[in-house]
Amino acid sequence: MDFPTFLIQLLNSVQYGLLLFMLAAGLTLIFGIMGVVNLAHGSFYMLGAYLAYWLSTLMGSLTLAIIVGIALAVLFGLALEWLLFRHFYERDHLDQVLLTFGLIYIFEELRSILWGDDVHGVTIPEALSASIPLTDNLSYPVYRLFMSAVCIALALGLYWLIAKTRLGMKIRAGAFNRDMTEALGINIKLIHAVVFALGVGLAAVAGMIASPISSVYPNMGSQVLIMCFVVVVIGGIGSVRGALISALLVGLADTFGKVLLPSMSGMLVYMLMAAVLLWKPEGLFKA
Amino acid sequence: MSSPKANLEILPRGVQIALGLGLVALLAFPWVGTDFYTQMVTRMLIMAIFAMSLDLLQGVTGLVSLGHAAYFGLAGYALAFLMPQDAAVSLWWTLPVAVLASALAALIIGFFVVRTHGIYFIMVTMAFAQMVFFLFFDNKILGGSDGLYINFKPSAQVFGFTLFDLENKITFYYVTLVLALLVYVFLRRLLWSPLGRALSGIRINEHRMKAMGFGTFGYKLTAFTIAGGLAGLAGYLWGAQSGFVNPELMGFHMSAHAIMMVILGGMGNFAGAFVGAFTFEYVLHVLKDLPTLQMFGKDINLGKHWQLWMGTFIVLVVIFAPRGLMGLAERFLQKREYPKGNSK
C-alpha cells in the first residue's frame, strides 16, 4: 500500500469512526443516564437520511433540509420520549428490548408507506462537490472532509455541553444519583427528555450528512445499529469518551480490514470486540 | 422478573389441565387439519422447541440473549452441508452432529459472553450472532446471502429398514411433536434438578450464589451450551422441514422473535414458551394474511403492512401484559380460587 492510498484509507476510517461516534454517543448517553437499551436508535439514523432526501428534493437545498430536518427529528424525539420511553426508564431491560424492537418494525413500515422501498440518492451541495487531487489518478472528495469536520465540531460541542455548562452538570448529576438530583429541585424529567432528544438529534444528523455518500435505502438503520452496539460495548457503556475512542478503533479496523483481509472483513470488528471483552469485560472506559 | 414467584415455576392446576387438553388437540390435529395447517403446526412445534431453549437462559437463568438465532441457524446449515445433492443422509448421525455443532458454538461464544452482565450480555450476544450471520452472508462457499437448499429429508433407516419416513408430512409432524415433548419434559426435569435450582438462584441473586460457593461462570456456561444445543435441534428440524436455509435464520429479527415468544407466553416455566411460540406464529400468520380493503377510494392491502401491526402488537404486549399469557392466566385463576382474598 503506497502512501496516498494509505492516506485515503486513513481519512475514510476516521470519517466512518466519527460518524459511528455520533450514533454511539446518543446510544451510550441514553443508556448511561436513563438506563434504556434502545434498539430503535438505528431508526433515527434512517429517519435523518430520509428526511434529508425528502426535504432536499422538496426545498432544493441540502443545507436547508438539514436545518429543518434537525428540528423535525428533535420534535419527533421529544414526542416519542413523552409518549413511550419515559414510562420504560424503570422497567426491566427485557421490556425495553422488546419495546424498541417493536418500534423498529413500526418505523420500517411507516418508512415504506411514506417514502417507498426504493434506493434514493442525495446530491452533494455545489460548494462541497470538489475533490482534492492526491496523485495523478487518486483524489479525495471534499465532502468527506466536511463530514469529518461536522462530526468533530459536534463532538466538541457535546463535550462542552456536558463538561462545562450548567445543563451538563445537571445531566451528570442525574446520571450519578437520580433521586438526590430530584430532591435538590432539578426537574429530572425535563433533563431526561433533553438527553433523549439530543440522542435522536445526533443520530438524525449523522444520517443526514451521511446520506449523499451512503445513499438512502430501506433497513439502513439495522446495519449501523449493530456497529454502534459494538462501539458502545468496546468503549464501555455510558462513557462518551470511551465511545469516541472505540468508534475510531472500529472505523480503523473495519476500513483497513476491507482492504487488507477482504474475506474476513465482516468479522474483524467482532473479533476486536471479543479481544477487548477478554481483557476488560466492561469495556475500555468504565463509566 | 427477579422475584422467585414471578416465574410460575409450579403450574397451577387450571393451567395443567389446559396444557393436557392442548396436548390431546395436538395429537389429534393431523386427522382434522389440512396439509397446509399440519405443516404450519409443525413449524409452530419447531419454534416452540426454539423458544423453550431460550427460556432456559431468559426465564430461568435471567440471561437475555439477543443472539439465540445463531445456534438455531448453525444446525440448519450443518444439515445442509451434510446432505449430499443426490441422496438422503441418515438422521441418526446428522441430528447429533448438528446439535453438537450448535452446542459447541454456544460453548465457545458463551465463554466470552457469560462473563458479562445485564445490558452488556444483551449487546454482546447480539454482536456475536451478527458475526456468525456475516460469516455465512459474506462467504459464497457457505451459501452467501441466498443460503443453501436441502433436497431431501433425512432418512430414518435402521439396518436397511425404514423406521419412519420423514418425507411424509404427517410422520414429520409426529416426530416433531415427540421431540418437542421430550425437550419440554427434559427442561422441566432440569428446572427442578440441582443445576436448575442453581440457575434460578443465579437469576435471583448471583452475588449470593457466589458467596455460597457456587462457580456461577460454569453454571451459566452450562446453561448457555444446553440452550444452544436445543436451539440447534429446532434449527435442524426447520432446515429439514423447509428444505432450505439462509442467513436470515440467524438474524437479529429471528432472535428478537424468540424473545417475544417467551415473553408472550410467560417466562421461566417452559409451558409459557411453548404456548407463546404457538401464539406468536399464529398472530404472525394472521397479520401477514390480512385482507385488502377499499378505503379512501384506494385498495389498501393490510397484510402487506404486517410489520406495522406486528410492531404495534409487540409494543402493546410489553405495555399491558409484560408477564405474558401465563401471567394473565395466573391472575385470573387466583381470583377464582380465592374469591374472598384470603390467599395469604
For position B336, what pLDDT does the model report?
Answer: 57
End-to-end CA distance of chain B: 21
Whether pLDDT at B25 is above 90? yes
Which residues of chain A does B61 touch, with a Cβ-Cβ cutoff of 8 Å? none
**pLDDT bucket at A16, cuts 50 / 70 / 90:** very high
Question: Touching check for A31 and chain B: CB below 8 Å?
Answer: yes
Query: If you ran DSSP here, which 8-state letter would residue B215 be given?
Result: -
CA distances to A229, A236, A262, B131, B142 from B137, rounded to whole Å, are 20, 28, 14, 10, 8
Name the residue among B58, B124, B138 with its Cβ closest to that of A277.
B124
Mean pLDDT of A43-51: 94
Span B75-134, pLDDT tens digits: 999 999 999 888 888 889 999 999 999 999 999 999 989 988 888 899 889 889 988 998
Whether pLDDT at B344 is above 50? no
B118-138 vs B252-265: helix axis angle to the nearest 10?
140
Across the interface, whether the CB atoms of A109 and B58 are under 8 A apart is answered: no
Q: Which of B315, B316, B317 is the mutation pick for testing A, counting most A CBs within 10 A? A: B315
How many whole angstroms separate alpha carbon B126 and alpha carbon B254?
11
Partner residues linked to B116 by β-bridges: none
Across the interface, whether the CB atoms of B256 and A112 are under 8 A apart is answered: no
Across the interface, whether the CB atoms of B123 and A233 are under 8 A apart is answered: yes
Q: Which of A43, A85, A93, A94 is the mutation pick for testing B, counting most B CBs within 10 A? A: A94
Residue in B with minimal Cα distance to A267: B131
Radius of gyration of chain A (CA): 19
Mean pLDDT of B30-52: 93
Across the interface, whether the CB atoms of B314 and A112 are under 8 A apart is answered: no
How many whole angstroms separate alpha carbon A196 and alpha carbon A194?
5
Task: Output the average pLDDT for chain A.
Answer: 89
Which residues of chain A does B59 touch, with a Cβ-Cβ cutoff of 8 Å? none
Span A60-94, pLDDT tens digits: 888 899 999 999 999 999 999 999 999 998 888 89
Element (H, E) at B300: strand B298-301
Query: If you ran DSSP here, which 8-state letter would residue B160 be given?
Result: T
Range of lowest pLDDT (A182-186, A269-273, B162-166):
B162-166
Mean pLDDT of A236-243: 88
Across the interface, whether the CB atoms of A91 and B322 are under 8 A apart is answered: yes
Whether pLDDT at B337 is above 70? no
Residue in A with minimal Cα distance to B62: A94
Tell me the HSE value of B34 on the side-chain side, using a 13 A CA sphere.
1
B322 three-state secondary structure: coil
Mean pLDDT of B299-322: 88
Which residues of chain A does B64 touch, with a Cβ-Cβ cutoff of 8 Å? 93-94, 97
Mean pLDDT of A157-180: 89
Across the interface, whether the CB atoms of B314 and A263 are under 8 A apart is answered: no
Name the residue among B1, B130, B318 with its Cβ closest to that of A99.
B318
**pLDDT bucket at B342, cuts 50 / 70 / 90:** very low
Q: How many CB atoms lie within 10 A of CB B71?
A: 36
For position A259, what pLDDT does the model report?
Answer: 85
Across the interface, whether the CB atoms of A233 and B252 are under 8 A apart is answered: no
Name the residue among B128, B131, B259 with its Cβ closest to that of A97.
B259
Across the interface, whether the CB atoms of A94 and B263 are under 8 A apart is answered: yes
Stretch 32-91 of chain A: residues touching chain B, C-beta under 8 Å: 37, 39, 84, 87, 91
Span A91-140, pLDDT tens digits: 888 999 999 999 999 999 999 999 988 898 888 887 888 888 877 778 88
Tell me the HSE value of A115 on the side-chain side, using a 13 A CA sphere.
23
**pLDDT bucket at A59, cuts 50 / 70 / 90:** confident
Asked if residue A284 lies in contact with residue A269, where contact means CB atoms within 8 angstroms, the answer is no
C-alpha cell at A268: 474483524
For position B1, what pLDDT does the model report?
Answer: 42
Q: Which of A91, A232, A270, A285 is the mutation pick for testing B, counting most B CBs within 10 A? A: A270
Span B230-281, pLDDT tens digits: 999 999 999 999 999 999 999 989 999 999 999 999 899 899 999 999 999 9
For position A174, what pLDDT does the model report?
Answer: 86
Q: What are phi and psi of B3, to 5 degrees?
A: -80, 140
**pLDDT bucket at A274, cuts 50 / 70 / 90:** confident
Stretch 180-239 of chain A: residues touching chain B, C-beta under 8 Å: 222, 226, 229-230, 232-233, 237
Asked if residue B9 lies in contact with residue B191, where contact means CB atoms within 8 angstroms, the answer is yes
Whether pLDDT at B290 is above 90? no
Residue A152 to chain B, least CA–CA distance (Å): 26
Whether pLDDT at B178 is above 80? yes
Q: What is the torsion angle, in degrees rounded to the nearest 10, for the CA atoms of residue A268, residue A270, residue A276 and residue A278?
A: -110
Across the interface, whether the CB atoms of A106 and B311 are under 8 A apart is answered: yes
Asked if residue A211 lies in contact with residue A69, where contact means CB atoms within 8 angstroms, the answer is no
Across the interface, whether the CB atoms of B115 and A31 are under 8 A apart is answered: no
- CA-nearest of A145, A114, A111, A89 to A222 is A111
What's the angle, vertex CA A168, arms to CA A162 and CA A170, rounded to 5? 145
Asked if residue B291 lies in contact with residue B104, where contact means CB atoms within 8 angstroms, the answer is no
The domain locations on chain A are 24-123+139-218, 220-287
Residue keyed to cell 450514533: A23
Which residues of chain B does A267 touch, with a Cβ-Cβ cutoff of 8 Å? 131, 134-135
**Domain topology for B4-337:** ABC transporter involved in vitamin B12 uptake, BtuC (1.10.3470)
What single letter denotes the amino acid at residue B223? Answer: A
Residue B179 to chain A, least CA–CA distance (Å): 29
**pLDDT bucket at A23, cuts 50 / 70 / 90:** very high
CA of residue B273 relative to chain centroid, distance? 7
The burial class, CB within 10 Å (0-12 / 13-18 / 19+), for B194 is: exposed
B314 three-state secondary structure: helix
pTM: 0.90
3-state secondary structure chain A: CCHHHHHHHHHHHHHHHHHHHHHHHHHHHHHHHHCCCCCCHHHHHHHHHHHHHHHHHHHCCHHHHHHHHHHHHHHHHHHHHHHCHHHHCCCCHHHHHHHHHHHHHHHHHHHHHHHCCCCECCCCCHHHCCEEECCCCCEEEHHHHHHHHHHHHHHHHHHHHHHHCHHHHHHHHHHHCHHHHHHCCCCHHHHHHHHHHHHHHHHHHHHHHHHHHHCECCCHHHHHHHHHHHHHHHHCCCCHHHHHHHHHHHHHHHHHHHHHCHHHHHHHHHHHHHHHHHHCCCCCCCC
For position A222, what pLDDT does the model report?
Answer: 84
Higher pLDDT among residues B5 and B325, named by residue? B325
All residues at 6 or more sequence positions from B219 whose CB lies less than 8 Å from its CB, including other chains: B61, B195, B198, B199, B202
Q: How many CB atoms lie within 10 A of CB B141?
A: 7
Which residues of chain A does B318 touch, with a Cβ-Cβ cutoff of 8 Å? 95, 98-99, 102
Residue keyed to cell 455545489: A126
Name the residue among A99, A101, A229 with its Cβ closest to that of B123.
A229
- Which DSSP string corresponds to B243-256? SEE-GGGGSHHHHH
Mark out chain B residues that contact chain A at CB-CB < 8 A.
Answer: 1, 58, 64, 66, 112-113, 115-116, 118-120, 122-124, 126-128, 130-131, 134-135, 137-139, 252, 256, 259-260, 263, 305, 307-308, 310-315, 317-319, 322
Which residues of chain A does B58 touch, with a Cβ-Cβ cutoff of 8 Å? 94
**pLDDT bucket at B3, cuts 50 / 70 / 90:** very low
Which residues of chain A does B308 touch, with a Cβ-Cβ cutoff of 8 Å? 105-106, 109-110, 113
Residue in A with minimal Cα distance to B138: A266
What's the angle, vertex CA B113, arms to CA B148 and CA A240, rounded to 5? 110
Residue in B with minimal Cα distance to A93: B119
